[in-house]
Amino acid sequence: MTDLAQADGTHTNGASVPVPVTTRKDWSSDQEVRWCPGCGDYTILAAMQMLLPDLGVRRENTVFLSGIGCAARLPYYMNTYGMHSIHGRAPAIATGLATTRPDLDVWVITGDGDSLSIGGNHLIHALRRNVNITILLFNNQIYGLTKGQYSPTSEMAKVTKSTPFGSLEQPFNPLSLALGAEASFVARSHDMDRKHMTEMFRRAHAHKGSSFVEIYQNCNVFNDGAFEQITGKDHRSEMLIPLVHGEPIRFGAEGEHGVVRGPDGAVDVVSVADVGESALLVHDEHRENPGLAFQLSRLSRGPYEPTPIGVFRDVDRPEYGLEMTRQVDAVIERKGEGDIAALLRSGSSWTVE
C-alpha cells in the first residue's frame, strides 16, 4: 500500500489534528441546488448536511458517490470528495473505493430506478459482500429525470407516460430485496421527518459493512403525494409504525395499535386493547435470522397501509474490505513483502552464458 491509507485507518493528513468543528455551511458546496422547487430531495440534503458536523468525521475523508437520476445529483452539493457516475453503477464503483480505502466514509446516493432497475445487480452484490458503504435509496416510485415513466417500485396499474393503460408489473419491495440480499443493516425513513431521517443516517453511518436506508421521497412534479397517506402530518401517528429495538411494536396517537406474530408466524396489526401489551411483538434489530425483519418489511402492501419505519435489521457480519486487507496482510506476514526479481524467477529459469 502507499501511504494513502494508514494501517490504523486514518489518513496522514490531519491524523494528529483534532477533527475541526464544522457547521452545515462547511459541508455545502458552492454549487446551486437544481432540484425542482418543493422536491423531497431538499429535506434529505439538509438532513445530511446538518448531521455531518455532528458525526466527528472529516470532509476530506468523506466521499459521496452516485449513479444517474435526480437523487444522483446530491454529491455536487456536498463540499466533500464526490463522484457522479453512470446509471446504476455507483455500488460497483464504491466497492472498489471502499475496499482499497478503508479510511474513508463512502456514501452511495441512489434512486429507485438507479439501484433497483439498471443497477439491481450491483446493489444486491454490494449488500451480500458487506462492503463498508452507506447506501441511501431515495424512493419516489417514479422516473423523475426522464420525466415520468413508471419505476420498479411503482404500484401495479399505475398510469404514467410509458404506461398509459396502467403498469402491469409487480413492484419491488426495496427492504425485502435488501434483506434477501443478506444486507446487515436495513432501515426506512421518509422525507417529511428530518429528525427521523437524521437518526437513520447516523445509525447507518455507525454500522460497519453495508448499510441500506430506504427513504420515501416525494416527487412533487411526477408523482406528487405518493406517500401522503402515511407521511402526511395528520396521518403519521395512525399510519407509521416506529420500530424501536427492545420495545413492543405499537403505534397510534395513544399507542392503541400494535403488531403481533400469529400462530402461523405471520405478523399482523391488532388493537392492543384486544390482545394485551404482553402479546405484542418486541422488536429485535440484532436477530440473526432475517425472517422476521422480512415479514415486517412486508407488513404493509404499499404506502397506504400502516407501514413500519426505523431500523429493521442491524447485525454484525465480516466487512469485505477489511477481510481483503487481512488476507493481504496475512500473506505478507507469512511470505514477507513481495520481491519482483524473485517473482520473475519463480518458475524454472536457466542461464545462457
Partner 1 sequence: MSDTTMNEHESEVLDRVILRFAGDSGDGMQLVGDQFTNVSALFGNDLATFPDFPAEIRAPAGTLAGVSAFQVQISDHDILTPGDAPNVLVAMNPAALKANVATLPPGATVIVNVDAFEERNLTKAGYDVNPLTDGSLSAYTVYEVPMTSITTEVSKDAGVKPRDAERSKNFFALGLICWLYTRPIDGTAEWIKSKYEGKFLVMEANLRALKAGYHFGETAELFASSFEVRPATLEPGEYVNITGNTATAWGLIAAAKQSGLPLFLGTYPITPASDILHELSKHKEFGVRTFQAEDEIAGIGAALGAAFGGALGVTTTSGPGVDLKAEMMGLGVSLELPLLIINIQRGGPSTGLPTKTEQADLLHAMYGRHGESPLPIVAAKTPSHCFEATIEAVRLAVKYRTPVILLSDGYLANGTEPWRLPDVADLPIIDPDFASGPNHIDEAGNEVFWPYVRDETTLARPWAPPGLAGLEHRIGGLEKADGSGNVSYDGDNHERMTRLRAAKIAGIANDIPPTDVDDEDGHADVLVVGWGSTYGAIAAGVRRVRARGHKVAHAHLVHLNPFPADLGDVLGRYRRVLVPEVNMGQLSRLLRAEYLVDVVSFTQLKGIPFRAASMESAILELIRTEDAGDGRSDAVTSSVGGTPVDGTVPADGKVSR
Which residues contact partner 1 by CB under 8 A? 1-2, 4-5, 11-14, 29, 31, 58-65, 68, 75-76, 78-86, 89, 92-101, 103-104, 121-122, 125, 324, 327-328, 331-332, 335-338, 340-341, 343-345, 347-353
Q: How far is the CB of 26 from partner 1 (least distance, A)?
A: 10
**Cβ nearer to partner 1, comparing 85 with 139:** 85
CB contact at 8 A, 191 and 218? yes
CB of 261 to partner 1, least distance (A): 35
CA distances from 276 to 248, 255, 270 (A): 11, 12, 10
Say whether 155 sits in a helix, a strand or coil: coil
What does the alpha-carbon distance between residue 134 and residue 127 come to, in Å, rounded to a whole number? 10
Instruction: Give me the least distance between CB of 273 and partner 1, in Å please.
Output: 49
Cβ neighbours of residue 185 closer than 8 Å, sequence gap 6 or more: 203, 204, 207, 209, 210, 211, 212, 311, 313, 314, 315
Q: Report the residue number, 102 or 248, with the smaller CB distance to partner 1.
A: 102
Determine which helix (DSSP H) or strand (DSSP E) holds 291, and give its type and residue range. helix 291-297
CB of 76 to partner 1, least distance (A): 5
Closest separation in Å from C-beta 113 to partner 1: 16
Contact between residue 260 and residue 220 where contact means Cβ atoms under 8 Å apart:
no
When the beta carbons of 122 and 196 are compared against partner 1, the nearer one is 122
**Distance between CA 313 and CA 310 in Å, rounded?**
9
- Could you give the count of Cα atoms lying within 13 Å of 206 in the half-sphere of its Cβ? 14
> Quick check: 64 and 78 in contact, CB under 8 A?
yes
Backbone angles phi, psi at 110, to 5 degrees: -145, 170
Least gap, CB of 285 to partner 1 (angstroms): 27
Q: Would you say 2 or 170 has its CB closer to partner 1?
A: 2
**Residue 3 Cβ vs partner 1, minimum distance, rounded to whole Å:** 9
DSSP three-state, residue 198? helix
Q: Where do we find the cell 453512470?
A: 86
**Whose Cβ is closer to partner 1: residue 91's or residue 290's?**
91
Q: Which is nearer to partner 1, 89 or 257 (CB)?
A: 89
Query: What is the per-residue burial (b if ≥16 Cβ within 10 Å, else e) of 77-92?
Result: bbbbbbebbebbbbbb
Is 254 or 337 the residue whose CB approaches partner 1 more closely?
337
